[in-house]
Amino acid sequence: MTLAALKARLTDIYLLNRANAVLSWDQQTQMPPGGAAARAEQLAVLGKLAHQMLVAGETGELLAAAEAETTGMGAEQDDAAYVRVAREVYDDATKLPESWVVEFNRTTAQAHHIWAKAREEKDFQQFLPTLERIFDLVRQQADYLGYAEKPYDALLDKFERGTTSAEVAAIFGQLRTALVPIVHAIQANQDRVSDAPLHGQFPSAQQRAFGEFVVKQFGFNFENGRQDVAVHPFCTSFSPRDVRITTRFDETWLSPALFGTMHESGHGLYEQGIPLHWENDILGNAVSLAFHESQSRLWENVVGRSRAFWGHFYPRLQATFPQQFENVDVEAFYRAVNQVKPSFIRVEADEVTYALHIMLRFDLEQAVINDGFPVKELPDAWNAKMQEYLGITPPDDGLGVLQDIHWSLGIMGYFSTYALGNMLAVQLYDLATAQHPSIPAEIAEGQFETLLGWMRSNIHQHGSKYRPKALLKRVTGADQIDPAPFLRYIQHKYGEIYAL
């Protein structure tokens, strides 16, 4: 009975949050410019009501009683999992005092505009006072949330529950040691690959048709989802039967929409794979950001940049853009989409250098949060790390320390999940392939049921029933994400492309 009352309350909150997501999706894909001010007010009210309902004394009482009710249940039982997740959500919300929440929201709401202008004008000084204030607030947040070893652990835990910064640092250390020499070796053989085929004239309508055809083959169900255009593409879900992916079209450059669509469809396939009995249930959320990113990177890179994939799909792409690809064979195209080239902008980075962009941010965030590194010295530290990891130095802060939106939103501790997801993608793919050796041949035939089916039954169907590390253990047998499969994949793939 108590559990039923708790569920009724949390379901209302969950539905409010989904309504909020609908308004955000509309804001980013449909809303006319004039709608911005009223939309901000609508979103604020939905957020306020959901927060008030969550932190209300009644929720805490129901939760405590439900915990008593489910004591002794095994973790395999849904109700035990439900109460565990409810506790996590409730604690996250109640540990932060109202005064902090108000100040944080006020500061970050103003910060967006200041950051955008500073980036536009390549002037870090404009953003510095705001960024200092945000780092102060986030440092306070870490104290409110609590941690065992380092303040940064509290932040990381928000996004990848149960993973510590020490673990991530160890994984990243192994990764960096292996990647930096590979990047240098590739640099020496740059002339083996040209990305020229990806630049030219590509009308949006044809790009859209090809991209949607591909992700439909992956298994993305357009009866239960749709694709729209957004400036900053994303995936959002209002139900496993209503998943919205977004993309952006550059009519002179094929890559953003082509790989962006595959990437977001990976997120979307995860959301569409959540069991229907958790349609409006907190257990129907994805387990963690690293797992989510593992799915997007799987379809974008491990599948979507593979020779097997293009062996099947390239003739169709050629037929879609006959003039553009008249004199480009599949091997040249395969190399083009796998060009490795150190660059300033993370979101445009290739598979090999991407993790180095992440490590840089991970290092700097930890330095500020854990060790009080001065925020005003971040631009120089950024540029020094870029030189150390990638051998290049940004010409200005717009291409350097100001490039990401995350800090202006007060989101610290998030970046590492991108790189963790990258590694996890290969780890999961190798496992699926070990259990189903037919997968690579199926990809070469444009068949993805076995691969998707494995992800469905091993990852998607569990929602957030298990803790991220418990799910990892259950699927891989390992206690933490293993960089070895990713490194083997990189060495094998790019060793061949670049004749290392």
Whether the Cβ atoms of residue 409 and residue 158 lie closer than 8 Å to each other: no
List the one residue from 5, 12, 318, 405 that touches a copy of itself (CB under 8 A). 12
List the one residue from 105, 140, 204, 239 that touches a copy of itself (CB under 8 A). 239
Nearer to a copy of itself, 44 or 196 (CB): 44
Nearer to a copy of itself, 38 or 188 (CB): 38
Instruction: Report how far apart, in Å, the C-alpha atoms of 210 and of each of 142, 322, 379 are.
Output: 45, 13, 41
Q: Which of 51, 60, 59, 164 is nearest to 101 (CA)?
A: 51
Whether the Cβ atoms of residue 341 and residue 189 lie closer than 8 Å to each other: no
Q: Per rule CB under 8 A, is residue 16 in the interface with a copy of itself?
A: yes
Task: Identify which range of 23-31, 98-106, 325-333, 477-485 contacts a copy of itself by CB under 8 A.
Answer: 23-31
Q: Per rule CB under 8 A, is residue 26 in the interface with a copy of itself?
A: yes
CA distance 480 to 171: 9
Q: Per rule CB under 8 A, is residue 205 in the interface with a copy of itself?
A: no
List the one residue from 31, 55, 128, 431 that touches a copy of itself (CB under 8 A). 31
Q: List the strands of the sheet with 225-229, edge to edge.
A: 225-229, 242-247, 235-239
Nearer to a copy of itself, 70 or 280 (CB): 280
CA distance 298 to 361: 23
Residue 7 C-beta: closest distance to a copy of itself, Å: 13
Nearer to a copy of itself, 271 or 397 (CB): 271
CA distance 253 to 276: 38
Residue 27 C-beta: closest distance to a copy of itself, Å: 9
Residue 262 C-beta: closest distance to a copy of itself, Å: 20
Residue-wise DSSP of 17-77: HHHHHHHHHHHHHT--GGGHHHHHHHHHHHHHHHHHHHHSHHHHHHHHHHHHHHTT--TTS
Q: Per rule CB under 8 A, is residue 206 in the interface with a copy of itself?
A: no
Residue 11 C-beta: closest distance to a copy of itself, Å: 8
Residue 181 C-beta: closest distance to a copy of itself, Å: 47
Residue 43 C-beta: closest distance to a copy of itself, Å: 8
What is the dihedral sign for C-alpha 448, 451, 452, 454?
positive
Task: Identify which range of 191-199, 220-228, 295-303, 490-498 contacts a copy of itself by CB under 8 A.
Answer: 220-228
Nearer to a copy of itself, 284 or 304 (CB): 284
Instruction: Classify 500 as helix, strand or coil.
Output: coil
Q: Per rule CB under 8 A, is residue 98 in the interface with a copy of itself?
A: no
373's tokens: 């590194």
Burial (CB count within 10 angstroms: exposed 0-12, middle 13-18, buried 19+), residue 351: buried
- The single residue of 160, 264, 351, 365 carrying the catalytic annotation is 264
List the one residue from 117, 166, 222, 492 that touches a copy of itself (CB under 8 A). 222
Please state whether beta strands 242-247 and 225-229 pair in parallel, antiparallel, or not at all (unpaired): parallel
Residue 351 annotated among the catalytic residues of the structure? no
List the one residue from 161, 208, 241, 248 that touches a copy of itself (CB under 8 A). 241
Q: Per rule CB under 8 A, is residue 35 in the interface with a copy of itself?
A: yes
Q: Per rule CB under 8 A, is residue 18 in the interface with a copy of itself?
A: yes
List the one residue from 1, 33, 148, 327 that touches a copy of itself (CB under 8 A). 33
Q: Which of 179, 467, 187 is nearest to 341 (CA)?
A: 187
Q: At what angle do helices 354-371 and 378-390 cross, to 10 degrees?
A: 140
Residue-wise DSSP of 314-365: HHHHHHHSTTTTTT--HHHHHHHTT-----S-GGG--TTTHHHHHHHHHHHH
Residue 131 C-beta: closest distance to a copy of itself, Å: 31
Residue 296 C-beta: closest distance to a copy of itself, Å: 20
Whether the Cβ atoms of residue 257 and residue 207 lie closer than 8 Å to each other: yes
Task: Outline where 95-203 has alpha helix (H).
Answer: 98-120, 124-145, 151-159, 165-188
Q: How many residues bind a copy of itself (CB under 8 A)?
A: 36
List the one residue from 2, 5, 22, 367 that touches a copy of itself (CB under 8 A). 22
Nearer to a copy of itself, 211 or 225 (CB): 225
Q: Per rule CB under 8 A, is residue 72 in the interface with a copy of itself?
A: no
Nearer to a copy of itself, 10 or 258 (CB): 10
CA distance 167 to 185: 28
Q: Per rule CB under 8 A, is residue 225 in the interface with a copy of itself?
A: yes
CA distance 243 to 227: 9
List the one residue from 4, 38, 68, 478 that touches a copy of itself (CB under 8 A). 38
CA distance 70 to 190: 60
Q: Per rule CB under 8 A, is residue 42 in the interface with a copy of itself?
A: yes
Instruction: Classify 246 as helix, strand or coil.
Output: strand
Nearer to a copy of itself, 228 or 396 (CB): 228
The residue ranges that bind a copy of itself (CB under 8 A) are: 12, 15-16, 18-19, 22-23, 26, 30-35, 37-39, 41-42, 44-46, 48-49, 221-226, 238-239, 241-242, 279-280
Write out the catalytic residue numbers. 264
